[in-house]
């Protein structure tokens, strides 16, 4: 019948998985923090409470620092320096950024003398790992992708929006900390962006083999037991190699 494909498409659309729905199926911390709206909760003392959870769960437990630690599922932005009288405002920010989840923030320029044009220039030679895109409204026009404004008047503020995207993780830099400089031209005013990318979980560097938390039948990493062959369960308490005969 000709209407069957339409019905199937409607059903598939209705059951489409939303971001965060499959967080608990991700067993590794790194896979978890790369998934949309998922974050890893690490419980210090046991393997029963650690794992990948959605943003609602982590929001409820973010203040429980005594029993565990969570890798936040959202990017965070902090203004570090914003002095008055500087042609760039703010002058320095810190951004914790998730992989493939762009973050946009404004920079306001206040030229101290008239210019035919002002522009922003950054120090990234390549943009395969981190990509910057500038947007602005020059002369009260619609928002456009541009790093330049023409006919800027003395003391007239110009706002640029900076879109930052961590496109991939560099294997050479496990910490993924990068300082990006954006310079106003003409002039010597500089904006600094300290970028930390959520690429790796520090707890994955600690691999306790034959850990007591796992009954010495598996390794303990990021609060989770990874059992040896023949064992299963959160604490590797199940012996799957046993055979049962009737």
44-89 pLDDT per residue, tens: 655 567 888 887 877 776 666 566 677 766 788 999 999 988 889 9
Residues 96 and 60 in one domain: no
CA-to-CA distance for 77 and 195, rounded, in angstroms?
A: 10
**Cα-based angle 61, 165, 63 (whole degrees, multiple of 5):** 10
Handedness of CA 149, 152, 158, 164 (dihedral sign): positive
Q: For residue 39, which of 1, 74, 89 has the smallest C-alpha distance?
A: 74
Domain annotation covers residue 4: no
Q: Which two tokens stand for residue 186?
A: 């003409």
Domain annotation covers residue 8: no
**Which pLDDT band, with edges at 50, 70 and 90, does 176 fall under?**
low
Domain annotation covers residue 244: no
CA-CA-CA-CA torsion for 53, 58, 60, 63, nearest 10 degrees?
140
Domain count, the chain: 2
Neighbouring residues of 201: CB distance < 8 A, sequence distance ≥ 6: 29, 30, 33, 40, 71, 222
Domain annotation covers residue 144: yes
Neighbouring residues of 28: CB distance < 8 A, sequence distance ≥ 6: 204, 222
CA-to-CA distance for 120 and 195, rounded, in angstroms?
A: 18
Neighbouring residues of 134: CB distance < 8 A, sequence distance ≥ 6: 120, 145, 146, 147, 160, 161, 162, 163
Question: Which domain range does residue 92 map to?
Answer: 76-198
77-121 pLDDT per residue, tens: 999 999 988 889 999 999 998 888 899 999 998 877 767 788 899
Output the domain CATH number for residue 130: 2.60.40.1510
């Amino acid at each position: 019948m000709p209407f069957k494909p339409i019905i199937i498409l409607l059903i598939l659309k209705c059951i489409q998985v939303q971001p965060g729905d499959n967080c608990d199926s991700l067993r590794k911390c790194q896979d978890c923090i790369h998934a949309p709206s998922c974050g890893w909760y690490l419980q210090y003392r046991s393997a029963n409470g650690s794992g990948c959870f959605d943003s609602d769960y982590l929001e409820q437990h973010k203040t429980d620092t005594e029993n565990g630690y969570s890798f936040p599922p959202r990017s965070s932005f902090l203004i570090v320096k914003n002095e008055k009288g500087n042609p760039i405002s703010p002058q320095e920010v810190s951004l914790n950024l998730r992989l493939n989840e762009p973050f946009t923030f404004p920079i306001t320029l206040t030229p101290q003398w008239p210019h035919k044009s002002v522009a922003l220039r950054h120090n990234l030679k390549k943009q395969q790992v981190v990509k910057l895109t500038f947007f602005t409204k020059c002369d009260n026009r619609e928002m456009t992708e541009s790093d330049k404004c023409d006919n800027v008047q003395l003391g007239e503020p110009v706002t640029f929006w900076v879109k930052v995207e961590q496109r991939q993780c560099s294997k050479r830099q496990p910490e993924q900390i990068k300082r990006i400089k954006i310079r106003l031209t003409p002039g010597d005013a500089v904006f600094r962006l300290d970028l930390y990318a959520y690429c790796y979980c520090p707890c994955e560097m600690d691999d306790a083999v034959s850990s007591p938390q796992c009954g010495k039948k598996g390794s303990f990493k990021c609060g989770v037991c990874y059992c040896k062959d023949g064992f299963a369960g959160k604490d590797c308490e199940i012996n799957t190699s046993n055979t049962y005969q009737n």
